[in-house]
Structure 1
Amino acid sequence: MKRFRLNLAYDGTPYEGWQSQRTEARTIQDELEKALSRLLHQPINLVGAGRTDSGVHARSQTAHFDAVNTRMNGLAFQRGLNSLLPRSIRVLSCQEVSETFHARFSALARVYQYYLQPSEVILPWDRAWVTPAKIPPLATLNAMAHQLHGEQDFTTFSHAQDPSQSRSRFIYQATWFAWRDRVVFRIAGNAFLWRMVRSLVGTMLTFGSRPEPATRFAEALASRDRRMAGPTAPAEGLFLHKVVYHAHEFCL
């Protein structure tokens, strides 16, 4: 048996998220598993590093799969998959890795970026949230974002249906910055709750237009009460930017 690592990019707009739902819903995982099974003539179970929600995109998602009795190498898998997959999913690279590598459990951090487009006009192939209101100053947004660093209980920014037993997550970086004609929120953490990043974005944008936003945000975070959060930002602006691993885990 051989284990392979995939590096993927996708437009999440036409999909009901990453994870297979065992229903008629179209998912990224289902599309990839169908293509892999056609190439290998065997059932394939794909494991992803991050289970992106419905409509969320990825610039660099990582996944792994195991294949029995195959002579195909990484380049052959990349070319074969890209010939079978819809254009909304692309395999950026594929390589054989050690059987100890696990796309989800070997990951040190996931990095998400949320893109805001202040202009009312966005190119058809771009993905960002065209915000209906004026975006608060970066200094105001960062005064809230910097409170997220370290280990925190994110119950306030969790979804009621999130199955996670613990709401605590460790955040390595949380910052807002300008990029080209957009405003971007970048957050890196060991893991994230369901819709957590979108809830954070929506809350910071809402609080940023009110008096004492940093104080209000700190109170909401400490409350562990979902009713204290602002509205959840839409999925269209959110990207899984990259997944971070130990370099030696890719070595055979």
Structure 2
Amino acid sequence: MPDTLRNIKLLIAYDGTDFSGWQRQGCNRTVQGTLEAALERIHKHPVVLTGSGRTDAGVHAAGQVANFTTPISSIPAERFVQALNSLLPRDIRILKAGVTLPDFHARFDARSRIYRYHLICGRPALPHELRYNLQLWRRPDSDLLNAYARLFHGEINCSLFAWPKDPSRSRNRYFSHAGFLYQGDTLIFEIQANAFLWKMVRSVVGTLLHYEEKGKSPEELKRIIETGDRSLAGPTVPPNGLFLWKVEYFRE
């Protein structure tokens, strides 16, 4: 990177309800496109923003990370929080901004991603809750769900959860942890891995709920996962309950 440029790292939160996902795509409203338009207004020229990952349409973020380069002579790094938020719509907020390593890459330097999925269980959701939670009219057995979640540790072939159009060369992913937790009537599923396939977290949640309702044992679910047979997966849950929660890095 030239000595005249800085690499700026952003921590971003957004409500994905009214976006066609993260990635810039033509005339559709996207998070990346909206952010780049604001950066262009500040810099008076196009700015390319690199994100840690591509969230799908309707998926939210509490901890998306992105980076871009900007001249050293422009505004102080921390001022990008206020400057960008003054130009952005209410459904995107910059939480933090700072100078990072010259060769830092928000996607390729990521060590792991953490996603959370939220469900309102056994009661009618309030109207505002429906933007960020799946309405489930029963209260699932969290002990059985956590027994399933413990299967997600180490390297796993995730073909069972792979969307048919996923372009990934390998469907193996390395998991750090997964688990379910009730907070009142809200059930939260958290999962951490080095990377995820397209729509994979939503497929995992739907599959675990499907087999929990059927009362399958963890041993039976393990055998089903090992088949890699997509036809044995449960339904894919909708995007409104899903958040990109945090991205962890080898270096920053």
Q: Do they fold alike, i.e. is TM over 0.5?
A: yes
Name the structure 2 match of 1:201: 205
Contact 1:4 1:96 in 2 (8 A): yes
Q: Name which of 108, 112, 128 aligns with 1:109.
A: 112
Matches within 5 A, 1:76-225: 76-118=79-121, 119-124=123-128, 127-131=132-136, 133-225=137-229
Name the structure 1 match of 2:31: 28
Quote how far apart the aligned CAs of 1:212 are.
2.3
Name the structure 1 match of 2:247: 243
Measure, in 2, the Cα distance between the counterparts of 1:45 and 1:165. 26
Measure, in 1, the Cα distance between the counterparts of 2:27 and 2:46. 19
TM-score by length of 2: 0.94
Matches within 5 A, 1:7-18: 7-18=11-22
Stretches of structure 2 lacking an aligned partner (at least 5 in a row):
none
Tell me which amino acid in the other structure corresponds to 1:15.
F
Tell me which amino acid in the other structure corresponds to 1:77.
F
Measure, in 1, the Cα distance between the counterparts of 2:212 and 2:197. 23
Instruction: Look up the SS of the partner of 1:130 in the other structure.
Output: strand
Contact 1:172 1:188 in 2 (8 A): yes
Post-superposition CA distance 1:116-138 (Å, at most 9, x none): 1112122426611112x413211
Measure, in 2, the Cα distance between the counterparts of 1:69 and 1:42. 15
Tell me which amino acid in the other structure corresponds to 2:174.
F
Measure, in 1, the Cα distance between the counterparts of 2:226 and 2:73. 52
Post-superposition CA distance 1:6-48 (Å, at most 9, x none): 0000000000111112x22111000000000110112111111
Contact 1:135 1:205 in 2 (8 A): no
Quote how far apart the aligned CAs of 1:203 are.
0.6
Quote how far apart the aligned CAs of 1:214 are.
2.0
TM-score by length of 1: 0.94
Q: Aligned pair 1:72/2:68, yes or no? A: no
Post-superposition CA distance 1:62-87 (Å, at most 9, x none): 00011235421122211111011100
Stretches of structure 1 lacking an aligned partner (at least 5 in a row):
none
Measure, in 1, the Cα distance between the counterparts of 2:216 and 2:83. 55
Instruction: Look up the SS of the partner of 1:148 in the other structure.
Output: coil
Instruction: Look up the SS of the partner of 2:90 in the other structure.
Output: coil
Post-superposition CA distance 1:130-187 (Å, at most 9, x none): 12x4132111101111111110010110101111111010000111111243111000
Instruction: Look up the SS of the partner of 1:13 in the other structure.
Output: helix
Post-superposition CA distance 1:223-249 (Å, at most 9, x none): 111101000011000001111124xx3
Contact 1:64 1:102 in 2 (8 A): yes
Measure, in 1, the Cα distance between the counterparts of 2:92 and 2:233. 33
Provide the identity percentage: 40
Tell me which amino acid in the other structure corresponds to 2:87.
L
Tell me which amino acid in the other structure corresponds to 1:145.
A
How many residues in Structure 1 have an aligned counterpart in Structure 2? 246
Q: Name which of 44, 59, 66 aligns with 1:56.
A: 59
Instruction: Look up the SS of the partner of 1:218 in the other structure.
Output: helix
Residues 180 and 101 of structure 1: is their aligned pair in 2 closer, same or farther, counting only changes over 3 Å? Answer: farther
Post-superposition CA distance 1:48-106 (Å, at most 9, x none): 11211110000111000112354211222111110111000000010011112111111
